[in-house]
A and B are shown apart, each in its own frame.
Chain A
Amino acid sequence: MTDHKNHAEHAEAHLREKHLMLDPLPRGRMNEMVMESMRHITWKFWVVFGILAAISAYGLFYSWGVMIAEGLGVAGVNRPVYWGIFLVNTVFWIGISHAGTFISAILRVFKAEFRRPFTRAAELMTTFGLVQAGFSIFMHMGRVWLSYWLMPYPNQRLLWPNLHSPLSWDLLAITTYILGSTMYLFLPLIPDMAMARDRSTGWRKTLYKILALGFRGTEGEWTHLRNAMNIFAFAIIPVMFSVHTIVSWDFAAATRPGWSSTIFGPYFVIGALHSGMGAVITVLAIIRGTMKHMKYFIRPEHFDAIGKLMLIISMTWAYFFFNDYMVQWYGGDKWTKQLLHFHEAGPMGWMWFAMLVCNVVIPWAILWNPKWRSTPWLVSTVGIIINVGMWFERYIIVPISLTINRMPFTWRMYQPGIEIPLGIGTLAFFALLYMAASKLIPLIPVWEVQEGQMAHELKKFGRETVVTVSELE
């Protein structure tokens, strides 16, 4: 009897330790932990921050300045590879940005409870990733100083943007997405800003006071906020899908071998989720490892859950990839055939195989095992590998596919130039923004965690103790 009871207690203790939602702390304590995670800045932070700032300054701003002054000749683009790593990076960063929306919107709509502690970490990636995507696409333009011509505004020339062009759709979609995701990041942040406002002094107090907008937590405020968040959660999902679909149409709408593929839309979306999830899990592992108190909030259960998602997405990606390959191959068009052959056997063939290994072989080999996928360092390494693989995928679609066209007299390889510092610059700037944000806004949506903890409890069904969730809304 006691044995049994002991066993049951043990199981319960185990469950509580495993699940954040069942392991509540006093709310004041939790708030304090989050505040401390922001305030706690070590010299190591400043060193890394300084290095990233230097890399961004050189890689992004200085190099970009050089490119604007000198022209795109300092990059590696040529005829026929008119688009190079800039577009690769654009697609890559938009892909990264998809994870935030996926986690905070889709998982929210479906009430997947494991999302709670890291929705904000993921949404921050969305916003900052989109910033890098924006940088990348503007870098790509030959006359970036005239980019306002792409905006619809009344003008004396009576000319409006060409809405026949996928790039115009892109602009609309990315604008919608970047605004939407930023607002969607901000709305759930308001209560946490209020919390932080109440617990800080000095400049932080001023900052949080401004950002909290005067939020108190009255019934009305909560209602408006909840309503808005629900609308956002539903509305931003189709926007997210549209963004990457439209990005894919930049390619699919072109009359080029290898590009005009009807499956590109969903293929790109799933590819975006693939890299996005990989990026989220990497960021979570870093946060967990470097920031104070984060081991409490982010636990192996979360890695396990995201790991499962990654596995599913990897399988879906493989399915779409094969689908695309199959149909292109079967079509038998001579240029497409040449291109497919070039992908595999050309000088960049290694990249094609590396892409498959990174995106399919490695994730499948590791993520099937619950223990492995609960191991933060391992699964985040897989996340990085997936991102490398997905970057390769975009590289294959953009510069490598552009090498082959219907005029063999012009085929030429692409050798990146200033794209490399610029690409590294965007990566550093992303990390820089993220680091700054991690010390300025609570990475953990405290109120959401607390709400979740309120809703969770253990329940006994016969002899088994299980986790139950009450639907509060």
Chain B
Amino acid sequence: MATLNDLKISEVKLSEGEGGKWGMVIDQDICTGCQACVAACAMENNISFVGEEDSGYGRSMHWIRIERFWEGEYPEVKMTPNQPMLCQQCGSAPCEPVCPAFATVHSQAEKLNLQVYNRCVGTRYCANNCPYQVRSFNWRDYKRPEPLANQLNPDVTVRRRGVMEKCTFCIQRIHKAQDQAKAEGREVMDGEFTTACAQACPANAITFGRTDDPRSLVSQLAKRRGHGAKHLEELGTLPNVTYFKGG
């Protein structure tokens, strides 16, 4: 193993150098699966609802979903800790290189995984290549009957059919906060804003912030609780969401 590592030293360094900027810590131990984050995300990001038939066929457009499995059999059955699954904003994202149109690229400025809706031509390769299966595709033009469209958030593009979409870490809020901070001549403060899901979560299971700032709450949490895990880390995707299973 050591020799192998030696051989790949340059690559390893490259990956480690790809530090994230924004990150999230999710505490599965206190996540109650209440779906408030899902609803908040849908409301903030103009996500379409798809109706009974399509949602049952795996076409629901949730950007965040709460996974739960079962362990054991009755009466010793247990529900596994709820696992909110959203775009992990990988530092080395498998979805990015496979898009032929550069519609999903890595933001150098925010270190996020961008999805440029209008550049998307709908090959859906990125979604295939996403190990977390967190991308959703606009299978149809899911209409919002009037006057439901009044609720749409003007800060987020409304997507049409044939376009891939996914969690953006509420980049519109990031921009807004940065713009505000800049106008006031200061840096963005930790906790000044947060993502829609983290904002809604009644259990405070989701924390969002700067992972590159050791003083931020996310960094503190990650350090304090120590035993956090990243999903499918073995694939080398460098995810920016840390999970605490707890218990």
Contacts and interface: CB of A to CB of B under 8 A. Distances in A.
* Direct A–B touching, Cβ under 8 Å: yes
Contacts of A168: 100
Given A79-B133, A165-B98, A406-B232, A143 B122 contact: yes
A65 B20 CA distance: 44
Interface residues of A, number: 44
A77 B164 CA distance: 13
Contacts, number: 141
Contacts of A254: 94, 98, 125, 128-129
A29 B125 CA distance: 55
Contacts of A407: 67, 85, 131-133
Interface stretch (B21-29, B54-62, B182-190): B54-62
Contact of B100 (A142, A144, A150): A150
B144 interface: no
Given A164-B97, A165-B100, A255 B129 contact: yes
B102 A159 contact: yes
Main secondary structure of the interface of A (DSSP, over half): loop
A79 B59 contact: yes
Nearest to A81: B58
A79 B232 CA distance: 19
Interface stretch (B134-142, B168-176, B202-210, B217-225): B134-142
A369 B141 CA distance: 57
From A168, A256, A409, name the one whose CB has the most chain B CB atoms within 10 angstroms: A409
Nearest to B94: A255
Nearest to A166: B98
B123 A162 contact: no
Interface in A28-86: 70-74, 77-83
A81 B133 CA distance: 10
A34 B235 CA distance: 60
B65 A409 contact: yes
Interface string A197-212: 0000000000000000
A147 B162 CA distance: 12
A161 B129 contact: no
Interface string A136-177: 000011111011011000000001011011111001000000
Interface in B48-102: 54, 57-59, 65, 67, 69, 85, 94, 96-102
Nearest to A253: B98
B188 to A, nearest CB: 29
Interface of A: 70-74, 77-83, 140-144, 146-147, 149-150, 159, 161-162, 164-168, 171, 250, 253-256, 402, 405-410, 412, 415
23 contacts: A70-B140, A70-B161, A72-B137, A73-B140, A77-B139, A78-B59, A79-B135, A79-B136, A80-B58, A141-B122, A142-B137, A142-B162, A143-B121, A149-B121, A162-B100, A167-B98, A254-B98, A255-B94, A255-B131, A256-B129, A406-B132, A406-B232, A409-B67
